[in-house]
Amino acid sequence: MDEISRDIIRNCQNGSAECFANIVALYERPLFSFVYRLLTGSHREGYVEDAVQEIFLKAYKNIRGFRTERKTRFSNWLFTIARNHCLSLLRKRGIRTRSLDDEREKRGPMVDPRSRNPGQEALQKEMMEKMTTAVAQLPEGQKSAILLRHYECLSYEDIAQILDCSVGTVKSRIFRARENLMHLMEDYLSL
Amino acid sequence: MEHRKECEEVRTLLRNLAPNLEEIGDEKAGKHLEECPECRAYLEKMRSLDKMLGLWEAPKPEGNLQARVMAGIAQIEKDRSKGILAPFRSLVQFRFRVPAYAFVLLILLFAFSVAVNVAVMLGSSKNRQIARGKNERGVDIRNVVGEGRDIASQTPIVIRDDTVFHTGAGDRTGNYLESVPGATVQPALVVIMGMPPTGLGTVSSTVEKGSSYLDDKGESL
């Protein structure tokens, strides 16, 4: 992911709202996709846009708290705000993630997709639905870690900084997330 | 047992590489994957999962998201300029931007206030003596409201309540009065502005409104 120049950040810190437009332009897309996936299962019309807007405004208000002299990447700082904001939204709106065991029980015996011989498109759609549901069921720590690793292509070190934990913990969370997803998506993996 | 250990090592490597599973550069792991069908199946499962995850695309944000953010920022700036603390905002911002400098400033302010207090305490020792009713020589000078010099004769005087006392040449505040109360003092002329001289031989003069006396430094009492 591209990193915004420190000069632009300093200008924003000195009160230049115009410079903040550069930050929005650069991070709008990755932030949107991260928030979209993190809030999966609780989407509604304009929900993600509202959340991303609030995240940028929070960043603008607090940009003076970002230390340009330190080695922290600005994108990490922004993703930290995004993650905290999403967690707060999920808590406020009482969206509780069900446990993976609940989900496995609820699934019941699944029809073998190969035996139904559906059209490729329909199968893919079904697979996507299953996968988004499976991701939504992951514990938050695992979900954030795998989303940042897989979709934002961040290093373990960056993810550790965003999630405020050790690199070892990040690796372990991603491993568990993958194991859980492989288990939940078992019927589709060999297709 | 050795095989199991190797399997676990290879799988750990795969987990750390994911989702970049095409980058297995480890020769030993590559050889193991060729020989171990279980690990190969594990790798295939991981690749399938990555492929599946890759299909999950997030939609593009609405075209006006950036405009909405900038409008929100304009509103923040507007609110900031309206607030009661608006004139001090730059100071607050400075404090947050340079907390170390703010801390040093606080320390300096504290040190300054301590120094001022100490100076005031030392300087007011005389006042405290007066408050306790003693002058520098330990003489009771309660009710003495001023001391100075007769303008005309330059004789030292003190003002006790509303009466002027000549303390005699060479003597100092209150000492004479205390040691020889009511005794004859050197005749002197007390000049009271707007009034005729009180005359010779008096030991006291009544202080009237508009009276003016000078202290040792020539300043009005």
Instruction: Provide the pLDDT for residue B184.
Output: 31
- C-alpha A112/C-alpha A62 separation (Å) is 51
What residue ranges in B12-77 does DSSP mark as E strands?
Answer: none
| Alpha-carbon distance values, B48 to A132, A171, B44 (Å) | 15, 20, 6
pLDDT of residue A126: 84
Q: Where do the structural domains in chain A lie, given as residue ranges?
A: 6-92, 100-189
The strand order across the sheet containing B204-206 reads: B144-149, B156-160, B163-166, B204-206
The reply to whether residue B52 touches residue A65, judged by beta carbons under 8 angstroms, is: no
The residue of chain B nearest to residue A12, with distances taken between CA atoms, is B73
Task: Specify whether the CB–CB gap between B211 and B193 falls below 8 A.
Answer: yes
Is-contact B6 B39, C-beta < 8 A? Answer: no
Residue whose C-alpha is closest to residue A175's, from A155, A137, A149: A149
Span A159-174, pLDDT tens digits? 999 999 999 999 999 9
Residue B57 has pLDDT above 90, yes or no: no
- pLDDT at position A88 over 70: yes
Give the other-Cβ count within 10 Å of B6's Cβ: 17
| Per-residue confidence band for B161, with pLDDT thresholds at 50, 70 and 90 | low
Contact A185, A146 (CB under 8 A): no
pLDDT confidence band for B27 (50 / 70 / 90)? confident
Number of domains in chain B: 2
Give, for B149, the enclosing helix (H) or strand (E). strand B144-149
B65·A32 Cβ contact <8 A: yes
User: What is the pLDDT, as a whole number, of residue A69?
Assistant: 73
Q: What's the CA gap between A81 and A91, in Å, rounded?
A: 15
Kindly list the residues from chain A whose CB atom is less than 8 angstroms away from the CB atom of residue B11: none
Residue A71: φ, ψ to 5°: -85, -5
Residue B49 lies in a domain: yes
In terms of CA atoms, which chain A residue is nearest residue B47?
A189
**Does residue B67 fall inside a structural domain?**
no
| A6-92: CATH architecture | Orthogonal Bundle (1.10)
Q: Per the omega criterion (within 30 degrees of 0), is the bond before B196 cis?
A: no
Give CATH for domain A100-189.
Answer: 1.10.10.10
Residue A97 has pLDDT above 60, yes or no: no
> How much is the ipTM here?
0.76
Q: Are B166 and B185 in contact (CB under 8 A)?
A: yes
pLDDT band at A103 (very low <50, low <70, confident <90, very high): very low
Averaged pLDDT for residues A111-128: 66
Which of B15, B36, B55 is the C-terminal boundary of a domain?
B55
Question: Within a 13 Å sphere around the CA of B196, how many CA atoms are in the beta-carbon half?
Answer: 2
In A132-175, the DSSP E strands lie at: none
Arithmetic mean of pLDDT, B146-164: 59
Domain that holds residue B219: 142-221
Rg of the Cα trace of chain B? 47
Q: Cβ of A124 under 8 Å from any chain B Cβ?
A: yes
The mean pLDDT of B105-133, rounded to a whole number, is 73
B161: three-class secondary structure by DSSP: coil
Task: Give the 3-state secondary structure of residue B148.
Answer: strand
Contact B93, B100 (CB under 8 A): no
Q: Is B23 on the interface with A (CB under 8 A)?
A: no
| B100–A contact, CB cutoff 8 A | no
Closest residue to A24, CB basis, from B55, B58, B66: B66
Q: Is residue B43 part of a domain?
A: yes
Given pLDDT bands bounded at 50, 70 and 90, which one contains residue B127? very low
Instruction: Name residue, tokens 């559906």.
Output: A118
* Among A48, A46, A10, residue whose Cα is nearest residue A32: A48
Say what the pLDDT of residue B195 is.
32
Is any Cβ of chain B less than 8 angstroms from the Cβ of A190? Answer: yes
Chain mean pLDDT for chain A: 81
Question: pLDDT per residue over A59-87, tens digit each?
Answer: 998 888 888 777 788 899 999 999 999 98
Helix (H) or strand (E) holding B205: strand B204-206
The pLDDT confidence band at residue B218, using thresholds 50, 70 and 90, is low
